[in-house]
């Protein structure tokens, strides 16, 4: 199975900060990488698909990049509603896998 | 509007069985693969299983292979997850999700609200 490793597991930041979350795959997955946001007690919500395509309705402060084994999710200016948990997920293999998650906390 | 509504969760003893359902609406159900993802309390997301649009192809995580069976009834627009030989570590919120796609890319969108399965004596 393809292992997905996110870093950091958690981070502290302030409103207006630029933050970057990294996701690394155990083998090349081309650009078959998606990002989700999950608020407490809610279902995950798609942010980015195919590594860099912004889902309709998602604010433009979110962006994705990368290919092969290394990917990043960037939030250009953190807003209060962004202090939640983010997951990457590979769709290269039919055996889909998620990263362990990154919790963004208020500093 | 696409809607997914899970049901069937509850409390079950170790070794027991449970069947989850996910009622879909707002899209041509048979044209899309469907997936189950679970989340143990306080933990991350774990992909469980995916079924193709026809139901002819199924895929499972190693942690559930041989115990869980994914299926679908396209005439009822409903996805199922039959869970047998349940263990304490199967305790989780179970989400169903639509496998959206474009060309060769796939992603999960949208997700249902989830149903809680608790395995405990």
**Across the A/B interface, how many CB contacts are shorter than 8 Å?**
63
Do B50 and A96 lie within an 8 Å CB cutoff? yes
The 8-class DSSP code of residue A9 comes to S
Q: What integer pLDDT is reported at residue B103 of this predicted model? A: 86
Quote the percentage of chain B above a pLDDT of 90.
96
Return residues 14-43 of B near A (CB < 8 Å).
35, 37
Cβ atoms within 10 A of the Cβ of A76, count? 14
Q: Which of B19-23, B98-102, B108-112 has the lowest mean pLDDT?
A: B98-102
Q: What integer pLDDT is reported at residue B104 of this predicted model? A: 87
The 3-state DSSP class for residue A27 equals: coil
Do A32 and B105 lie within an 8 Å CB cutoff? yes
Taking the alpha carbons at both ends of chain B, their separation in whole angstroms is 40
Do B46 and A98 lie within an 8 Å CB cutoff? yes
Residue of B106, B114, B115 for testing the chain A interface, max A β-carbons within 10 Å:
B106
pLDDT in tens, A28-51: 999 999 999 999 999 999 999 999
């Amino acid at each position: 199975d393809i292992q997905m490793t996110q870093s950091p597991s958690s981070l502290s930041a302030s409103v207006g900060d630029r933050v970057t979350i990294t996701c690394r795959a155990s083998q090349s997955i081309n650009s078959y990488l998606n990002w989700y946001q999950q608020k407490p007690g809610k279902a995950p919500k798609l942010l980015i698909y195919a590594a860099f395509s912004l889902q309709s309705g998602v604010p433009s402060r979110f962006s994705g990049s990368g290919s092969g084994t290394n990917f990043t999710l960037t939030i250009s200016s953190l807003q209060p509603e962004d202090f939640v948990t983010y997951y990457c997920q590979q769709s290269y293999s039919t055996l889909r896998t998620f990263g362990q998650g990154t919790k963004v906390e208020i500093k | 509007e696409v809607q997914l509504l899970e049901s069937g969760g509850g409390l079950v003893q170790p070794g027991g069985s449970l069947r989850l359902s996910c009622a879909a609406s707002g899209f041509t159900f048979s044209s899309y693969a469907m997936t189950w993802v679970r989340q143990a309390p306080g933990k991350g997301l774990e992909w469980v299983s995916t079924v193709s649009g026809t139901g002819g192809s199924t895929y499972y995580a190693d942690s559930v292979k041989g115990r869980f069976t994914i299926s679908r009834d396209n005439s009822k627009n409903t996805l199922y997850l039959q869970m047998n030989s349940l263990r304490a570590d199967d305790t989780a919120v179970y989400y169903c999700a639509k496998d959206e796609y474009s060309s060769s890319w796939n992603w999960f969108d949208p997700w249902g609200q989830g149903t809680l399965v608790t395995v405990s004596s």
